Amino acid sequence: MQQAVSNKKLQRREAILNGNLWKTILMVSLPILMYNLCNYMYGIYDMMVVQSANIGDAADIVVLDQIKNMISTVGGALATGGGILVSRRYGENRISDAKRCANCLFSIALIVAGLTLLFIPIGVPFLKLLQTDQSTIDNAMGYYYVQIGILSITTINNTFIALEKSKGNTLKLFILNFGVIFIKISLSTLFAFGPFENVTVTWLALATLAAQSFLFIAGLIYLFLPGNVLRITPKSLNFNKSDSLMILKLSIPVFLGRFLFSFGKVYINSTATTVYGKMAVGALGISNTMAGLLTTMINSFEDGGSTIVSQNYGNANGKRIRKFFFINMVYLVSLAAIGMIICFILKEEVARFFAPGDELYQEMIVNIFKWECLDIIFTGVQAVGLSIFYGFGKTKITMSLSMSQLFAFRIPTLLICIYWIKMNYEACGVAMFMSNMLTGVIAFVLAFIFIIKMPKMEKYKDLFRTEETPNNVECA
C-alpha cells in the first residue's frame, strides 16, 4: 500500500503535474535560484576579502577551487542521478519505492563522503600531478585541506538537497541557506577584518566549513524526521541492487561529463599560467566568477525544470513536457539576453572593482570578460536542452555534450589561439565563448528534435514507464 502523503506535499505534486506551468516553473525554480545566488555571493565575497584585506592571492583560490570542483563531481553526480530516480518515482506516486531509493542514495553518499577524505593525505602529490603552480602549493595547502573536508560534508548536503528538489520542495532550501550565508559572511568578515594576525585564505575556508556544517546538521535532522515522506532511518539504509544499479546508471555519465569538464578547466588554468602567467589566470577566474552570476541563475531554472520534467515523465504526461519546453525556453532566453546586455555594459566597472588602481589587470579582465558576456545567451539556450535530458534521465547525452564542450571545442580552440594564431591572454576568453556557443546550439537542437519526435506519452504509458514500474500503478 502506498504511503500517505500530507496535503501540502500532495498540492505541490499536483501543481507540478497539472498546475499552471508558468507559475509552476517559478514556484520550483525561484527558491533554487535564491539558494544558488546566496552560495554564489559568498564566493564573490571571498574574492573581495582576499583583494581588500590582502590575505592571499586570488589566483591560488581560482586554481584550487577548480580542483575542488573536479573532485566534487562525484558527490554532485550521485545526487543528480539519485534525485532523478527518486523524482520519477515520486511523480509515479510510488512513494514507498521512492523512499527506499532515497535511503539507498543516502547509503551510497555516506561511502562517497568517506572516500573523499582520502584526498587529504595525498594532497601534495595530487596537486603536483595536476601540474599546479608550486607557489600555490606552498601558499595555500591549508585552504586545500579544509576544502576537502567541506567536500565530504557537501556530499551529504547535496543528497539532502536532491531529495528535497525531487519533491519540488525548494522553499525549505532557500530558507536554510540564509543561515548558511549569515554564518559564512559573519565569520569571513570577522577573520579578515577582526583582531587577528597572520590571517590566510585557509581562514576563509574554515568559515565555509562552519556554514556548510550548519546545513549538514539541519539536513540530517530533517531527513530523519518521522514526518518526512522520504524519511531516512538506520534500519532503512540499504544497497538495494536494482536501486543502486539505476542510480549508478544515471550518475556515472553525469560524473564523467562533469569530471572531465572540470579537469579541462584545471588544464586550461595550468596552460594559461604557463603561457600567460598567474595574472591571466586571476583575470580568467574573475571573469568566470562574474559571468557565474547569470550562469547560476540560468542553472537554477535548468535544475528546477529537470524536476518538473522528471515528475511528469513518471506520470507519463508527454504533452505537458512539450509545453514546458517552450515556456522554459522563454524564461531562460529572456533571462540570458538581459543578463548578457547588462554584463557587457558593466564590464569596465567590474574590472575597476576587482583591480582598483591596476590598469593592466583591469585591461586583462575586460578583454576576457567581454567574451564571457557574449556566451551567456548560449548558456541559456543550452540549459533549455539540459533540463529536458536530465529530466528524462538521458545522462549519456549530457555527458557527451560536456565532453564535446571541452575536448572538441574549448581545448582545441585555446591551443589554436595560442600556438597557431599567436593570440595573447584573450585566447582564454575566445576559447570559453566558442565552446559555450557551439555546445549551447547543439544541446538546444538535440532537445528540440527529441521533444518534437517524442510520442504522445499518454498513449504509450508502458513505453515511458521505468523498467521496474508495474503496469497497474495508479497515477495522479
Is residue 158 in some structural domain? yes
For residues 383 and 36, is the Cβ–Cβ distance under 8 A?
A: no
Domain count, the chain: 1
What is the Rg, in whole angstroms, of the alpha carbon atoms belonging to the chain? Answer: 22
- Residue 92 belongs to a domain: yes
What is residue 213's predicted lDDT score, i.e. its pLDDT?
A: 95
- Spatial separation of the C-alpha atoms in residues 50 and 61, rounded to whole Å: 9
How far is 27 from 174, CA to CA, in rounded Å? 12
CA 251 to CA 78: how far, in whole Å?
5
Residue 417, domain member (yes or no): yes
The H or E element that residue 46 is part of is helix 21-53
Residue by residue, pLDDT tens for the chain (476 residues) are: 334 445 555 666 777 888 889 998 988 888 778 777 776 776 677 777 777 777 766 667 777 777 787 788 888 888 888 888 888 888 788 889 999 999 999 999 999 999 999 999 998 998 888 778 788 888 888 889 999 999 999 999 989 988 888 777 767 777 888 888 889 889 988 988 888 888 888 888 899 899 999 999 999 999 999 888 889 999 999 998 999 999 998 888 888 877 877 777 777 777 777 888 878 877 887 787 778 788 888 988 888 888 889 888 877 788 899 999 999 999 999 999 999 999 889 888 888 877 777 788 889 889 988 998 888 999 999 999 999 998 888 888 988 998 898 888 988 998 999 889 888 888 888 988 999 999 999 999 999 999 888 765 544 444 444 444 433 333 32
- pLDDT, position 472: 34
CA distance 431 to 368: 10
Written as nine digits, the cell of 68 is 575542488
Q: All 3 cell numbers of residue 180?
A: 548558511
pLDDT value, residue 261: 73
Residue identified by cell 563522503 is: 113
Residues 372-411: b if buried by 16+ CB within 10 A, e if exposed? bbbbbbbbbbbbbbbbbbbbbbbbbbbbbbbbbbbeebbb
In-domain check, residue 144: yes
Which residue blocks in 194-277 are alpha helix, DSSP H? Answer: 201-223, 241-276
The answer to the question of residue 305 being in a domain is: yes
Q: Which stretches within 117-240 are classed as H helix?
A: 123-129, 134-166, 171-193, 201-223
Query: How far is residue 24's CA from residue 2's CA, in Å, rounded to a whole number?
Result: 25
What is the per-residue pLDDT for 476?
27
Distance, in Å, from the CA atom of 152 to the CA atom of 327, rounded to the nearest integer, reads 37
Tell me the CA distances in angstroms from 4 to 243, 259, 330, one per residue in order. Answer: 22, 39, 36
Instruction: Compute the half-sphere exposure of residue 202: CA atoms within 13 Å on the CB side of its CA.
Output: 15
Tell whether 10 is covered by a domain: no
The answer to the question of residue 419 being in a domain is yes
DSSP classification of residue 466 = -
The pLDDT value recorded for residue 357 is 78
Distance CA(167)–CA(86), nearest Å, equals 8
The one-character DSSP state at 422 is -
Q: Supply the range of the domain harboring residue 102.
A: 17-464
Domain assignment present for 469 = no
